[in-house]
Structure 1
Amino acid sequence: MNSTSATAADSPLDLEQAQLRIQALEEALREASSATVAAERRLDQLVSHLQEGVLLTDEAGQIALINDRFCALWELEEPASYWVGRPWQELTTILMPLTTDPGRFAQAVHSKRQQGAPVFNDPVELADGRVLERDFMPIPADTGTGSNVLIRLRDVTEYRQATDRLRAVASIPGQNPNPIFRLDGTGQLLYTNQAANFLFKSLSEADQTRLLAKAQGLAATALEHSQPWQVDISVGEGFYTVFVAPFGEEGYANLYLVNITKRILVEQELNRAKDEAEAAVRARENFLANMSHEIRTPMNGVLGMAGQLAKTRLDARQQEFVRIIRSSGQHLLTIINDVLDMAKITSGKLEFEQTAFNLCDSLGESLQPLVMQAVEKGLTVTAMPLRDTCPLPWVSADPYRINQVMINLVANAIKFTEPGGHITVSSRQLASTPDTLTVEFVVADTGIGIPPEQQTRIFEGFTQAYADTTRRFGGTGLGLSISRAIVEQLGGTLLVESEPGKGSRFRFVLDFPRTPAVTQDAVHSAFDTGALRGRRVLLVEDNEINRDVARMLLEEWGVAVDEAENGQVGVEMLQHRAYDAVLMDIQMPGMSGLEATAIIRKLPDPAQANIPILALTANAFRADNARYLAAGMNACLTKPFEEEDLYRHLEALIQPATLASGASYDLAKLQTMARGRAAFVDKIIQSFLTNMPASLVELEAAAASHNWAQVAALVHHIKPSVESLGIQGVLPAMQQLEQDIPPMGQPAAASTTATDHIVSQIRRALQELAQELPADARTQ
């Protein structure tokens, strides 16, 4: 009874508590559900924002979790929500065709799931060229009967490409066949590639030490100055160019070595070859100069004596013999000149002058003898002179070289044209400006002509169109070669048009600087003006026949002649007797003409030291003449010479010396400039006396240090003053120093001699001017 009562009494309370408990549990369940939903939402947000793809399968093999990034990496059409709850095998079937090897991909997936071991950074290569990388991580299930599998996926295509590039770059030094060294600022070797190791091992211990020391020095210098540079070094028996690249922030420098041994050896061979070639050229020039001297010396005697013989009483037959001797001698001389010209051409020393002349008159005078020769052969000649198209044909050029070309072309036309043929010689103006005249030159003939295949070869040295040309027509085959070289150096091109049996036409065009017409003195047929009568000259010549020829000519002109057979005798005779001029041979036994001239120019007596000296030389190179002038000679005359040339040279040398009364200067030009203003003359002389001594000191110092560029500049600076004061005998030496500048620092005997001569002559002029200048001008 009591028990039943108690239960009945407690029932309402227990029921209420149970309801409260239920409410509490329901609330807790709702809170838990909310927390779960929130957690799931946060997890979804986290997973969706991952840069990696994520896939989670449960123990049953169903896809429990997958994010959009996973689908995007595989470029799937379905969204991530589509795959939740589906078996992983269905997804694998979709993914297989997207890989480069579907079968291998499927096998790998199954294998990894069966093994149940984690796998990281597993690459998956896709058919579109991309590379994905995945992590495979099994997670034990709560039930203990299976496992969940988490797969993380990322795109590593760019990373793989960058890695490959870095790997390729990193392999370059090792694969480079050139040695590479890396050293820090302390000289410590940080890296050497395989080629550097091979080079190092190939060297002796001493060479290894030297190479390391050089590398340390180069690296330290590059790092100190933060400047890349390169240098050539010797390594053992080889040679290398070293490119030094500093990396200042990193604290090291790279040295890249390139083997240049073959290049250096080739350069050395080209230089033993160059020296040999230059030696061969010098030997050839010396040979030709000696041959010229040896041939011209007796030719001077032959032609000179023939000229003297022609002046005697001879019958017609004897006169013909003399004519043949002189003609044959002149022909031989022409051949010698052609050979020498070819030698000058091949050595690049063909000489040209610049002088004002009437181009039309010069051509006419030079070609007139050939016209007569053509007429004698039975040819007709048509000449179209330049004056027909050019009213003022005055130009500045080398008349001898231009005439030489035209003479060669006309002589060829005469030689290769049979009697009854025709030759046309023309020169005409093509264009004209105030400064320039353009002229076309043409020589055409109706001769044998030249086959097309031979028209190029005829301009080669010692070449003629036909094999029997020399036997039939004579000649050396040098004329056209020389002519083309001259025309090319004058800025033109010698062209030929020819047809066998119909003749040839040679043509070239040249541009000439115009020059005002020069008033020329009337030319007298008799060159002996009487200016040399009563003069006394000293003839220094070792060849007896040449002394006889010169003495006969000089005595005809009323000149007293004393003879000396060598330079030493000549110097002694000059010191014991007064002479108006010296005719000086160059090559003589014992003391040469140059040595004798050097002694004469240093004699204490001013009259003896400054006597006019005319060089009589058998050398035909203009460079030799410049050397003679620089040595102190006043003029040069090449053997064999014409009588008139010898007379004109002596007349030009003796008369100025007479007019100047032995002075080393001539104020005629300055006085002309002054137009009667004596104060102007005094002012110029005073400036010269004041400023020139310092210039001479600078000139001597520059010559002593072999600074020839400075010598040339100083000479160029003082030359106008020297010219205006008419200082005698120094202009040829000045011209040589201005034009022929030896390499810096190189001693040059000719340049030193020329400098000494200039300084000596100018100092003498300074002394004489200071003495003769009026007292009031000296004190200004």
Structure 2
Amino acid sequence: MTFPPSVPPQFADAAQAYQRIQELEQELRQVKEDAYTLETRLQHLISQAQEGVILIDPEGRIALVNERCCALWDMPHSASHWIGQPWQEMAAVMFGMAADQLAFEQRVHELRAKGEPVFNEQLELSDGRVLERDFVPVQEVNGLRARTMIRFRDITEYHRATEQLRAVASIPGQNPNPIFRIDAEGQVLYNNPSASALHASLSETDQNRLLAKAQRLAATALAQNAPWQVDIPVGTSFYAVFVMPFPEESYVNLYLINITKRILAEQELNHAKDEAEAAVRARENFLANMSHEIRTPMNGVLGMATQLSKTRLDARQQEFLRVIRTSGQHLLSIINDVLDMAKITSGKLEFEQTPFNLCDSMGEAIQPLVHQAIEKGITVTGVPLKESCPIPWVLGDPYRINQVLINLLANAVKFTARGGHITVVGQQLTETPETLTVEFSVTDTGIGIPVEQQQRIFEGFTQAYADTTRRFGGTGLGLSISRAIVEQLGGTLAVESELGQGSTFRFQLTLPRSVPVSTQVATSAFDNGTLQGRRALLVEDNEVNRDVARMLLEEWGVTVDEAEDGIQGVAMYQQHDYDVILMDIQMPGMSGLEATALIRELPDAAKANVPILALTANAFRADSAKYLAAGMNECLTKPFEEAELYQVLEKLMPTAAPATNSYDLTKLRALSHGREAFVLKIIRSFLSNVPASLSQLEAAAIAGDWQQVAAIIHHIKPGIESLGVREVAGAMQQLEQHVPAVGSEQVPAHEAVARVVSQVKRALQELPRELPQE
């Protein structure tokens, strides 16, 4: 090294030392700058980290801490506050937040004493969170003096998920129901303790059966790739098996639930249901048979009484005859009440749906009772429905609705003494474009009903007083039947009464509106000679009833041949021509239905279509519908009035030439009020829409879907009725209202479907030929 001339030689060493010092100072500044840069970079990295980080220097002070750490521990100060502070100050805050403060503090001191690294140690806090901790002893971090680095991570959600997974994983083992897992080869991959217990409880034979069933279920589920359920017997028990396939894993889980109690209960319920149904059928058969057995002789009694009334009788004999006829009619009313009660208790009370004038219908129905009241010396006043309801046309069952008012008025007449008063009121309460809500009330000044008895009187076979039957007569069924009718129609029936002051019974109904329809029926005076010269075949096994019918028919100029049973009747009809057949139903050897079927199958169309009138002692409406569906034209229940029989025969044998068409547009023309366009529109709609419905009807019958059959009939019924399609009313009624029960005889229903389809198809063929004329 050469020194400048101004530096004396004796100072050369000092100069070198000075220069070295400057170099060292420069290096130190650079090191400090680098350290600062590294510390700043480290602080930045730590501050941005998602973990909480603390660095503690060898003197036990906090060399570095980030904001994430302060946030995890809810520190009262920011990170910068803690730099240079003793680690114990921050640790005191942490200890206070631990779920187990003492255990946490002991663990910290233990880790510092051992100086060994620990990773992923979990720490539960008092607020429910879970932190994960790393404790790492170090000498320095990126040039920063430190003795220990601690990292914290919030794993609360992960911890909860892990616990849930752990709980779920333990479910099969804890499940009290057996669980099996079977692979595609039929190997049992897993079975929980319940499954093992079930397997162990079985005999070897039942074990093999269970395994074979499980393997078949698993194979089917994997093949179809769909979960399903099946009930199987296992030993002496029953199990519902839920089969869940996992195609990607090539195994199936089978979950078994013991349903033995349910199966046994269902079996008992079915052994009970069958017995109850058998009891109901037995009761219905008994009542039907009793009705038949009572009505058959009653027909003879009342019929002969009618014939007797036509002979010369003195006043005393006339009174005897009046008592006979009144007693007979009273007995019939009791039989009808008992039958109605049987229908109600078995849920088979039938209701028609027909348009009628509610005011006129109920007014006509109560007229006989009004006369009876007047004869008893009771005054009767009333307010007709038409005063508050100008157009009281509704859709419903006039017979059943009238029955309610008749029962209420009959009770009022029965329990009101001479000199009393009865008021009958009908009024409209509300109306909508679709419905009418009406109320009818009957108020009397009779004996009244105690408050404690006012609800019991609506129970079957119940009277308000113990001696009511003896004093006034009756079965105690009228009010019970009336309430059942009203409630099944969606209405209410109530009573207001005071002992000794009389009673008021009122019922409310909401009924569908109906457009007014023509009610003019071609009627004639009784015995006007239109039956003169006709020839009838009477098929009846009861001699007295044959005598009654023959006397009436011969009186009207009808020639009568008699057959004692169905076999003889069919044979006689094949040998002779008759204008009408009067056919009993229940006869030995061959029933009236069987005889009718044979007649309808005759090759001669004219003979096959002879009018057949069913004379039956069965009073169930379902029976009448069955007779009409079987091919009979009309049905008359014994005992019948002679005028009723005359009018039915006059209807069956009109004096005019019978129509050749299978339809009649008279009703449609009456509804059209002279509008030809309306008539044509209805006909064209019928031609275009009904064929598809007929196809659906046949398909539903073939499939045995009788509810669908009923729905289709209900849909096409208005069109069929508006065009007057003949000879299908009975069949439609049977199909619409009397769906065959599962397992019951369905042949009559199939025959009814065939009858409807045949007649409607014939009308469809004939109508187009009439369109040019119409």
CA apart distance, 1:565: 1.0
* Counterparts in 2 of 1:337 and 1:103: CA distance versus 1, 3 Å: closer
> Is the CA contact (8 Å cut-off) linking 1:136 and 1:149 kept in structure 2?
no
Q: C-alpha distance in 1, partners of 2:599/2:278?
A: 34
Please say if 1:654 is aligned against 2:653: yes
Q: In the alignment, which residue of structure 2 is the partner of 1:65?
A: 63
Task: Report the number of matched residues.
Answer: 736
Q: In the alignment, which residue of structure 1 is the partner of 2:5?
A: none
* Counterparts in 2 of 1:192 and 1:309: CA distance versus 1, 3 Å: same
Deviations 1:703-738 (A, max 9, x none): 666566787799899989988997764443354345
Q: C-alpha distance in 2, partners of 1:128/1:696?
A: 75
Q: Which amino acid aligns with 1:415?
A: K
Q: Which amino acid aligns with 1:240?
A: A
CA apart distance, 1:33: 6.0
Q: C-alpha distance in 2, partners of 1:693/1:356?
A: 26
Q: C-alpha distance in 1, partners of 2:162/2:433?
A: 74
Please say if 1:232 is aligned against 2:235: no
Alignment of 1:80-159 (within 5 A): 96-137=95-136, 149-158=147-156, 159=158
> Is the CA contact (8 Å cut-off) linking 2:184 and 2:218 kept in structure 1?
no
> Is the CA contact (8 Å cut-off) linking 1:48 and 1:67 kept in structure 2?
no
Q: In the alignment, which residue of structure 2 is the partner of 1:281?
A: 280
Please say if 1:345 is aligned against 2:344: yes
Q: C-alpha distance in 2, partners of 1:445/1:672?
A: 46
CA apart distance, 1:494: 1.6
Q: In the alignment, which residue of structure 2 is the partner of 1:332?
A: 331
Q: In the alignment, which residue of structure 1 is the partner of 2:56?
A: 56
Q: C-alpha distance in 2, partners of 1:463/1:189?
A: 68
Q: Which amino acid aligns with 2:27?
A: E
CA apart distance, 1:572: 1.3
Q: C-alpha distance in 2, partners of 1:445/1:315?
A: 38
CA apart distance, 1:354: 4.6
Q: C-alpha distance in 2, partners of 1:375/1:694?
A: 58
> Is the CA contact (8 Å cut-off) linking 1:179 and 1:194 kept in structure 2?
yes
Q: In the alignment, which residue of structure 1 is the partner of 2:577?
A: 578
**Structure 2 unaligned spans of 5+:** 1-7, 674-678
Alignment of 1:530-609 (within 5 A): 530-609=529-608
Q: C-alpha distance in 2, partners of 1:720/1:260?
A: 49
TM-score of the superposition, structure 1-length normalised?
0.80
Q: C-alpha distance in 2, partners of 1:37/1:185?
A: 70
Q: In the alignment, which residue of structure 1 is the partner of 2:211?
A: 208
Q: Which amino acid aligns with 1:215?
A: A
Deviations 1:620-672 (A, max 9, x none): 0111111111111111110011111111111111226x7239x6858785998
> Is the CA contact (8 Å cut-off) linking 1:63 and 1:86 kept in structure 2?
yes
CA apart distance, 1:383: 3.0
Q: In the alignment, which residue of structure 2 is the partner of 1:312?
A: 311
Q: In the alignment, which residue of structure 2 is the partner of 1:732?
A: 730
CA apart distance, 1:517: 6.5
Q: Which amino acid aligns with 1:558?
A: G
Q: In the alignment, which residue of structure 2 is the partner of 1:244?
A: 244
> Is the CA contact (8 Å cut-off) linking 2:134 and 2:152 kept in structure 1?
no
CA apart distance, 1:592: 0.9
Q: C-alpha distance in 2, partners of 1:268/1:392?
A: 55
Q: In the alignment, which residue of structure 1 is the partner of 2:397?
A: 398
* Counterparts in 2 of 1:37 and 1:191: CA distance versus 1, 3 Å: farther
> Is the CA contact (8 Å cut-off) linking 1:363 and 1:403 kept in structure 2?
yes
SS in 2 for 1:349: coil
CA apart distance, 1:162: 4.3
Q: In the alignment, which residue of structure 2 is the partner of 1:23?
A: 19
**Bigger mean CA deviation after superposition, 589-598 or 196-205:** 196-205
* Counterparts in 2 of 1:255 and 1:348: CA distance versus 1, 3 Å: same
CA apart distance, 1:293: 0.4
Deviations 1:384-440 (A, max 9, x none): 334555566565543332332222111111222233322112224445778765543
Deviations 1:255-311 (A, max 9, x none): 655555544444444444333333322222211111110110011111111111222
* Counterparts in 2 of 1:296 and 1:38: CA distance versus 1, 3 Å: same
CA apart distance, 1:506: 0.9
CA apart distance, 1:67: 3.0
Q: C-alpha distance in 2, partners of 1:476/1:305?
A: 27
Q: C-alpha distance in 2, partners of 1:394/1:139?
A: 102
Q: C-alpha distance in 1, partners of 2:662/2:36?
A: 120
SS in 1 for 2:492: coil
> Is the CA contact (8 Å cut-off) linking 2:529 and 2:556 kept in structure 1?
yes
> Is the CA contact (8 Å cut-off) linking 1:532 and 1:559 kept in structure 2?
yes
**Structure 1 unaligned spans of 5+:** 1-11, 142-146, 223-227, 676-680
> Is the CA contact (8 Å cut-off) linking 1:182 and 1:255 kept in structure 2?
yes
SS in 1 for 2:212: helix
Q: C-alpha distance in 2, partners of 1:46/1:615?
A: 110
Q: Which amino acid aligns with 1:470?
A: T
Q: C-alpha distance in 2, partners of 1:184/1:493?
A: 64
Please say if 1:221 is aligned against 2:224: yes
SS in 2 for 1:611: coil
Q: In the alignment, which residue of structure 1 is the partner of 2:676?
A: none
* Counterparts in 2 of 1:365 and 1:208: CA distance versus 1, 3 Å: same
* Counterparts in 2 of 1:354 and 1:726: CA distance versus 1, 3 Å: closer
Q: C-alpha distance in 2, partners of 1:127/1:701?
A: 73
Q: Which amino acid aligns with 1:214?
A: L
> Is the CA contact (8 Å cut-off) linking 1:706 and 1:744 kept in structure 2?
no
> Is the CA contact (8 Å cut-off) linking 1:660 and 1:666 kept in structure 2?
no
Q: In the alignment, which residue of structure 2 is the partner of 1:371?
A: 370
SS in 2 for 1:309: helix
**Bigger mean CA deviation after superposition, 236-245 or 703-712:** 703-712
Q: Which amino acid aligns with 1:472?
A: R
SS in 2 for 1:371: helix
Q: Which amino acid aligns with 1:294?
A: E
CA apart distance, 1:586: 0.5
**Bigger mean CA deviation after superposition, 262-271 or 504-513:** 262-271
Deviations 1:332-390 (A, max 9, x none): 00000011111122223223345555544544443333233333434332233345555
* Counterparts in 2 of 1:342 and 1:63: CA distance versus 1, 3 Å: same
> Is the CA contact (8 Å cut-off) linking 2:356 and 2:516 kept in structure 1?
no
**Bigger mean CA deviation after superposition, 45-54 or 496-505:** 45-54
Q: In the alignment, which residue of structure 2 is the partner of 1:8?
A: none
Larger Rg: 1
**Bigger mean CA deviation after superposition, 640-649 or 385-394:** 385-394
CA apart distance, 1:699: 8.0
> Is the CA contact (8 Å cut-off) linking 1:708 and 1:744 kept in structure 2?
no
After superposition, the CA RMSD in angstroms is 4.6
Deviations 1:484-521 (A, max 9, x none): 22223344322211122221101123446344364646
> Is the CA contact (8 Å cut-off) linking 1:130 and 1:155 kept in structure 2?
no
**Bigger mean CA deviation after superposition, 95-104 or 398-407:** 95-104
**Bigger mean CA deviation after superposition, 703-712 or 123-132:** 703-712
> Is the CA contact (8 Å cut-off) linking 1:47 and 1:54 kept in structure 2?
no
Out of 35, 38, 55, the position equivalent to 2:34 is 38
Q: C-alpha distance in 2, partners of 1:15/1:198?
A: 104
Q: C-alpha distance in 2, partners of 1:127/1:710?
A: 67
Q: C-alpha distance in 2, partners of 1:720/1:382?
A: 39
> Is the CA contact (8 Å cut-off) linking 1:187 and 1:220 kept in structure 2?
no
Q: C-alpha distance in 1, partners of 2:571/2:742?
A: 39
* Counterparts in 2 of 1:63 and 1:587: CA distance versus 1, 3 Å: same
**Bigger mean CA deviation after superposition, 503-512 or 111-120:** 111-120
Q: In the alignment, which residue of structure 2 is the partner of 1:9?
A: none
Q: In the alignment, which residue of structure 2 is the partner of 1:6?
A: none
Q: C-alpha distance in 2, partners of 1:729/1:664?
A: 12
